[in-house]
Structure 1
Amino acid sequence: MAESAGAKPVIMVTNDDGIDSPGIRALVQVLVSANCYQVLVCAPDSEKSAVSHSITWLHPISAKHVEIEGATAYAVSGTPADCTSLGISQALFPAIPDLVISGINMGSNCGYHIVYSGTVGGAREAFFNDIPSISISYDWVRGQSNAHDFKVGAEACLPLISAVMMEIKNDNFPKRCFLNVDLPTDVVNHKGYKLTKQGTSIFKMGWKHVSSERQGQRMSSTMTMETDTPAGYDINLSSNISSGHLIFKREVKNSFIDNNDTDYKTLKEGYITVTPLGALSRAEIECETYFRDWLQHVAVSPSTSAL
């Protein structure tokens, strides 16, 4: 671990909702209050939901110090993956963190939505660099959830985080995965932790032509597609859309719910889901079998120029 004798282990926190979002602030507050860790924060300076694992490549990014009680924090002009990469590089902080936590996201990240998630991308970037990591999301539901739920969720995750830190200290944490955690809507009455696997649930989306920029305001939640936000969570509605441009808005057409014993179903049953993830998703075995046989025929077929 990064700690020296007598020093506290280091946890770095990032997210995709932005450094001012209630989810990350609640998580940092709970970690600081535990008085067991040195807490670093390196998070986007604005909302970066659904950017997946995108990185800034062709131009520099900036980091500005932000006052968060009990933590050393910077707001960064990049993506969640950028923030993790910078935060673990020792270019910004002197210590390499023992654990990176990304979240708490406003909206669940289950099934295929894991691929879109900037929250998961922040944790995956740490995994790419051999640092243990956890992504945490809360199943926010309009009309039921409130900002205080993020603190309750952070407290519910604290035993899990402590257990992971113990595994890291003992050098037992698996090197070939990271963890994706989802908190149920009624997090106060959650049924405990349950190990799950990534399912195939997804919202099928389309596009709708709208007549004004105001009608085209993006959805606030990464994956639950809600149109409201928690109190105190401001979204920048400014746009670079020029006059005369056509404006299109994403809209949910329908949803596919995986009813197998996977992350989404387990989350909706009221559990805190714990899903080990790897860097890549392999194709199903039957697909590999199909293309193994198919490729043999392709290899001996005439070229298209001979047809």
Structure 2
Amino acid sequence: MPQSALPARRFGRVLLTNDDGINAPGLALLAELAAEIADEVWVVAPEKDQSGMSRAVTLMAPLRVEERGPRRYAVTGTPSDCAIFGLRHLLKDSAPDLVLSGVNRGANVGDEVPYSGTVAAALTARLLGVPAIAFSQVVTDRTHVRWDTTRALLPRALDHALGLRVAGNAVLNVNFPDLDAADVGDVVVTRQSRGTLDRIDVEARTDLRGGNYYWMSFRRHMPILGPDTDAGALKHGLISITPIGFDMTAPEGIA
């Protein structure tokens, strides 16, 4: 697939955030695109990696904020903190037209979506009244991230997302497959899949001084899924766009 053209729609002001931190390459790519479609691009992102923070907000400690350049701020907090700080402090009198979150290094699909700080930042922005889209680049080998795929396909995915009519308070969760851009197929609207997380374990280790420390270990399982699901679409080489909302009601529980 050739590199996509920029979206036709233009914005006055766009706010960017992520959960990988302000120096992450995915955020730099997003900023490149945003500069082409917006008159003003604001960046408010965590000062360090805050992956897996979900919708956590900092309530028991102050936030420290460092200006890293024009309209660019690093925050000592979570992705949701960044969205709140940007929308309720920096831009409280001049709200952005759109919030873009990402581009995350790694997929945000299936059972793991609720843990995602990338998606959470978008949800927080939507909760505060601003439309938002989250982006993630699937990674199979963490030493080889296909940022060239992201760069080539991000304009097309954003253009498609902007053309969708999103009901209620949903945000759009976009995932790019771990393929060369030329091998990626269509953009499809999907549902969140289930059964992609097998288990979460705690791995105990010992440091050089004999002290104990622990890592959380996610064990993933990829069931056979159709292209109408986020994980299934990616396995079929498609770009997945999934509407994600706030309602966590289990219908089977009601029944």
- C-alpha distance in 2 between matches for 1:129 and 1:186: 35
- C-alpha distance in 1 between matches for 2:143 and 2:73: 32
Alignment-derived partner of residue 34 in structure 2:
31
2:245 aligned with 1:251: no
Deviation per CA, 1:141-190, whole angstroms, max 9, x where unpaired? 217833xx3354144222343455577xxxx6534311000010015121
- Equivalenced residue count is 242
Q: Which SS does the other structure have where 1:9 is aligned?
A: strand
Cα distance 1:95–1:150, how it changes in 2: closer, same or farther (>3 A)?
A: farther
Deviation of 1:65 after TM superposition, in Å, equals 1.2
Deviation of 1:246 after TM superposition, in Å, equals 2.7
Alignment-derived partner of residue 192 in structure 2:
198
2:248 aligned with 1:281: yes
Contact 1:134–1:178, Cα closer than 8 Å, also in 2: yes
Q: Which amino acid aligns with 1:272?
A: I
Alignment-derived partner of residue 56 in structure 1:
58
Alignment-derived partner of residue 207 in structure 1:
202
2:158 aligned with 1:161: yes
Report the aligned-residue RMSD.
Answer: 2.4
Deviation of 1:63 after TM superposition, in Å, equals 1.4
Deviation of 1:140 after TM superposition, in Å, equals 1.3
**Higher deviation after alignment, 132-141 or 153-162:** 153-162
Contact 1:45–1:75, Cα closer than 8 Å, also in 2: yes
Counterpart of 2:172 (choices 179, 182, 185) is 179
Deviation per CA, 1:223-275, whole angstroms, max 9, x where unpaired? xxxxxxxxxxxxxxxxxxxx775312223445253624411011111111000
Contact 2:127–2:169, Cα closer than 8 Å, also in 1: no
- C-alpha distance in 1 between matches for 2:231 and 2:207: 35
- C-alpha distance in 2 between matches for 1:255 and 1:181: 20
TM-score normalised per structure 2: 0.85
Contact 1:27–1:150, Cα closer than 8 Å, also in 2: no
Q: Which amino acid aligns with 2:203?
A: K
Deviation of 1:84 after TM superposition, in Å, equals 0.4
Alignment-derived partner of residue 20 in structure 1:
23
2:45 aligned with 1:40: no
Q: Which amino acid aligns with 1:42?
A: V
- C-alpha distance in 1 between matches for 2:121 and 2:20: 11
TM-score normalised per structure 1: 0.72
Contact 1:145–1:185, Cα closer than 8 Å, also in 2: no
Contact 1:105–1:119, Cα closer than 8 Å, also in 2: yes
**Which structure's CA Rg is the greater one?**
1
- C-alpha distance in 1 between matches for 2:215 and 2:166: 43
Q: Which SS does the other structure have where 1:47 is aligned?
A: coil
Q: Which amino acid aligns with 2:32?
A: Q
2:129 aligned with 1:130: yes
Q: Which amino acid aligns with 1:196?
A: T
List gaps (5 residues or longer) in structure 2: 1-9
Q: How does 1:222-261 map to 2 (within 5 A)?
A: 245-253=211-219, 255=221, 257=223, 259-260=225-226, 261=228
Q: Which amino acid aligns with 1:21?
A: A
- C-alpha distance in 2 between matches for 1:75 and 1:277: 26
2:255 aligned with 1:262: no
Q: Which amino acid aligns with 1:17?
A: D
Contact 2:160–2:187, Cα closer than 8 Å, also in 1: no
Q: Which amino acid aligns with 1:156?
A: L
Q: Which SS does the other structure have where 2:45 is aligned?
A: strand
List gaps (5 residues or longer) in structure 1: 1-6, 214-242, 290-307
Deviation of 1:111 after TM superposition, in Å, equals 0.5
Identity %: 27
Cα distance 1:101–1:35, how it changes in 2: closer, same or farther (>3 A)?
A: closer
Contact 1:27–1:151, Cα closer than 8 Å, also in 2: no
- C-alpha distance in 2 between matches for 1:160 and 1:21: 20
